[in-house]
Amino acid sequence: MKPSGIEMSEVSVRFDTPDGAVHAVESVTEHVPDGSFVSVVGPSGCGKSTLLAVISGLQRPSSGAVAIGGKTVTGPDPSIGVVFQEDSTLPWRTVEDNVRFAMQCNGVGKGEQRSRAREAIELVGLAGFENAYPTTLSGGMRQRVALARTLAVEPEVVLMDEPFAALDQQTRIFLGAEVRRIWERTGQTVVFVTHDLSEAILLSQQVWVMSYRPGRILEVVGVDLPAQRDPAIVSSHEFNELHNRIWSVLQAESMRGFQQQEAARA
Amino acid sequence: MTVHAPNRGGMPKRLLDNQFVGGLALFIVVILAWQLCSSLTFVIPAPVRTLEVLGANLTDASYIFDLRVTAQSVFQAFLIGTLLGGLIGLGLGLSERARLWFEPLLVILNGIPKIVLYPVLLPLFGLIGAKVAMGVLFALFPVLINVATGVREMPRVYWKLASAVQANPWQKLIYVILPAIRRPLLAGLRLAVSLSVVGVVLSEFFATRRGLGRVVLQSYNHGDYPVMVATVVLLIAVAFVISILLWRWEKRLR
């Protein structure tokens, strides 16, 4: 069988800091099936963003390897799209030119850039804002621009690092539903990092719970909810059960992380 | 601007909030003060007299030649100073180690009165080269410091983005770094224009064959104050106009 999806084998990342080595990610061996939607949750300060950076090729693992579609990741690649937590729109470019930026760097032809940019802008619901500058848009709209820029390259894998963390609750729920809708259409493999449990359950097929340092995957929870989900599902019995199950693991971890940070400060 | 403040104070209030009107009023005050000063001392010619002399000068072939010599040196100094400052600034902004090593040296170099180096530059670069070199020394630092600071203070997410989309070094420079530092860069250029004029004209005061600095000094020696003041006014006016244009461009940036 042809290898597919994202294959992580014994991935570890250690940082040397003045206070000693930090094991951000420790021996993670997991598989993200092709075309699936996986969320990673964990206490703040755990290595979830670092793990995502390793998959994206932006961060080299201290040991171990990641393969996408059977090909080992050695650095950033057009087949891997990343959406960052921070506002990454370029304020001197219009929405359309922002969306074209990644394609420009990848040497996509001008005409192709234009049509794919228009398509991606349409997909994220920003049609009509092609010529607007990011400074005139809300934070949520800017994250849509960043998403469109990533999607326009047509990557196999889309990695999102807490993309809605800086947004208000309503916008977050709304954009989450948009991401889910887009994923249903494009069928890309998505890894979504978040600290919001409800968001993770609502969006994904699998939720990975990560531990505080050293960052390990403690539990992989399958989300057995119908494919067609609307935000009202959060009040269902099944959702609550999942939420409680993940929260019980996460709570203990968050407590441990909190105590470690306090101890380090003392 | 399309936004109007509520028109409470009527027409005069709106006029007073207009920058152009304010600038014009200030200009008139300066001219009046100038007129007043010129009646107190014979050194300062009246504004109208200065304008006449300036007009006469600008039709004089020899004066135009001096003007061209100075303009050429200033232009060269500005160009070289900006390129050199931009490149060094880029290097210091990109490399933490380079910054660590060179920052003390640059602070010292920027701190010394550069004109004291002129006697050293003269034999090194010759009469023409030395004043360009002096202009470069003056123009260099504002560009260098602004570019280095601008690059260092670029949002970190731009670097991550550039890496993630595999921008090559040239694309990083053209698509990300230069536009990201556009404001400090332009502010630096604005200073570099005025300072390259200062460097060149100051050098011409000391030793040169041709140039407006020499015209000023010569007319001073001959007691020909109208020519001296008219030339100084010309220098100020040119630097002023360029600064205003760059400043307006700076304000229009996103």
| Interface residue B155 vs chain A (CB under 8 A) | yes
With CB atoms and an 8 Å threshold, state whether A90 touches B179.
Answer: yes
| Interface residue B183 vs chain A (CB under 8 A) | no
Residue B165 has its nearest CB partner, among A87, A101, A133, at: A101
| Interface residue A104 vs chain B (CB under 8 A) | yes
Task: List b or e across B189-220, with b for residues whose CB sees 16 or more CB atoms inside 10 angstroms.
Answer: bbbbbbbbbbbbbbbbbbebebbbbbbbbebe
Options 3.40.309.10, 3.90.470.10, 1.10.10.410, 1.10.3720.10; CATH for B45-252 is: 1.10.3720.10
- What radius of gyration, in Å, describes the C-alpha atoms of chain A? 19
Q: Is pLDDT larger for residue A58 or for residue B243?
A: A58
| Interface residue B117 vs chain A (CB under 8 A) | no
> B220 near B151, Cβ under 8 Å?
no
Locate B192 and state its tokens: 């570099």
| Interface residue A166 vs chain B (CB under 8 A) | no
pLDDT band at B1 (very low <50, low <70, confident <90, very high): very low
pLDDT attached to residue A257: 80
Residue B160 has its nearest CB partner, among A77, A84, A106, at: A84
| Interface residue B182 vs chain A (CB under 8 A) | yes
Pick from A165-174, A183-192, A231-240, B236-245 the range whose average pLDDT is largest. Answer: A183-192
Residue A105 has its nearest CB partner, among B166, B179, B254, at: B166
List all residues 6 or more positions away from A168 whose beta carbon is below 8 Å from its beta carbon: none
Mean pLDDT of A215-223: 89
Q: Is pLDDT larger for residue A46 or for residue B40?
A: B40
| Interface residue A91 vs chain B (CB under 8 A) | yes
pLDDT attached to residue A167: 86
Tens of pLDDT, residues A81-93: 999 999 999 999 9
> CA of B157 to nearest chain A CA: how many angstroms apart?
6
pLDDT band at B78 (very low <50, low <70, confident <90, very high): very high
List all residues 6 or more positions away from A238 whose beta carbon is below 8 Å from its beta carbon: A224, A225
List chain A residues with CB under 8 Å of B168.
Answer: 105
Identity of the residue numbered B149: T
Counted across chains A and B, CB pairs separated by less than 8 A come out at: 56
Tens of pLDDT, residues A28-47: 999 999 999 999 998 877 78
With CB atoms and an 8 Å threshold, state whether A84 touches B166.
Answer: no
Tens of pLDDT, residues A234-261: 888 888 989 999 998 888 888 888 888 8
**With 80 as the cut, is the pLDDT of residue B82 above it?**
yes
A18 secondary structure, DSSP code: T
HSE-CB of B116 using CA atoms within 13 angstroms: 5
| Interface residue B159 vs chain A (CB under 8 A) | no
> CA of B13 to nearest chain A CA: how many angstroms apart?
30
3-state DSSP helix/strand/coil % of chain B, to nearest 5 = 85, 0, 15
Mean pLDDT of B223-231: 90
**With 90 as the cut, is the pLDDT of residue B72 above it?**
yes
CB atoms within 10 A of CB B82: 23
> CA of A101 to nearest chain B CA: how many angstroms apart?
8
**With 90 as the cut, is the pLDDT of residue A206 above it?**
yes
Residue that is written with structure tokens 């531990």 in the block: A211
With CB atoms and an 8 Å threshold, state whether A90 touches B176.
Answer: yes
> B28 near B173, Cβ under 8 Å?
no
Mean pLDDT of A179-202: 91
Q: How far apart are CA B251 and CA B117, in angstroms?
A: 36
With CB atoms and an 8 Å threshold, state whether A87 touches B157.
Answer: yes
pLDDT attached to residue B10: 56
List chain A residues with CB under 8 Å of B162.
Answer: 105
* Average pLDDT of the residues of chain A: 89
Tens of pLDDT, residues B143-175: 999 999 999 999 999 999 999 999 999 999 999
pLDDT attached to residue B79: 96
pLDDT band at B11 (very low <50, low <70, confident <90, very high): low
pLDDT attached to residue B2: 46
* Average pLDDT of the residues of chain B: 88
**Could you give the 3-state DSSP secondary structure of residue B1?**
coil
Pick from A174-178, A206-210, A246-250, B42-46 the range whose average pLDDT is largest. Answer: A206-210
Q: How far apart are CA B254 and CA B236, in angstroms?
A: 29
Residue that is written with structure tokens 């650095």 in the block: A75
> CA of A91 to nearest chain B CA: how many angstroms apart?
7
pLDDT attached to residue B22: 86
> B121 near B135, Cβ under 8 Å?
no
Nearest chain A Cα to B155, which residue? Answer: A88
pLDDT band at A174 (very low <50, low <70, confident <90, very high): confident
* % of residues, chain B, pLDDT over 70: 94
Locate A230 and state its tokens: 């609307």
Nearest chain A Cα to B160, which residue? Answer: A58
C-alpha distance from residue A258 to each of A251, A253, B188, B222 (Å): 10, 8, 47, 82
> A35 near A191, Cβ under 8 Å?
no
User: Which of B213, B217, B215, B187 has the alpha carbon at shortest distance from B199?
Assistant: B213
pLDDT attached to residue A253: 81
> A83 near A152, Cβ under 8 Å?
no
**With 80 as the cut, is the pLDDT of residue A138 above it?**
yes
Question: Domain-by-domain residue ranges, chain B?
Answer: 45-252
With CB atoms and an 8 Å threshold, state whether A84 touches B161.
Answer: yes
List chain B residues with CB under 8 Å of A82.
Answer: 160, 164
Q: What ipTM score was computed for the predicted complex, to two decimals?
A: 0.88
Max CA distance (Å), chain B: 69
Tens of pLDDT, residues A1-11: 455 889 999 99
With CB atoms and an 8 Å threshold, state whether B168 touches A105.
Answer: yes
Identity of the residue numbered A260: Q
Cis peptide before A214 (omega within 30 of 0): yes
CA B118 to chain centre: 20
List chain A residues with CB under 8 Å of B155.
Answer: 86
Residues facing residue A222 across a β-bridge? A206
Residue that is written with structure tokens 């968050």 in the block: A254
User: Which of B182, B189, B187 has the alpha carbon at shortest distance from B81?
Assistant: B189
User: Which of B234, B239, B237, B233 has the alpha carbon at shortest distance from B189?
Assistant: B239
C-alpha distance from residue A96 to each of A83, A131, A137 (Å): 17, 6, 13
Q: Is pLDDT larger for residue A54 or for residue A264?
A: A54
pLDDT band at A195 (very low <50, low <70, confident <90, very high): confident
Mean pLDDT of A78-103: 94
pLDDT band at B93 (very low <50, low <70, confident <90, very high): very high
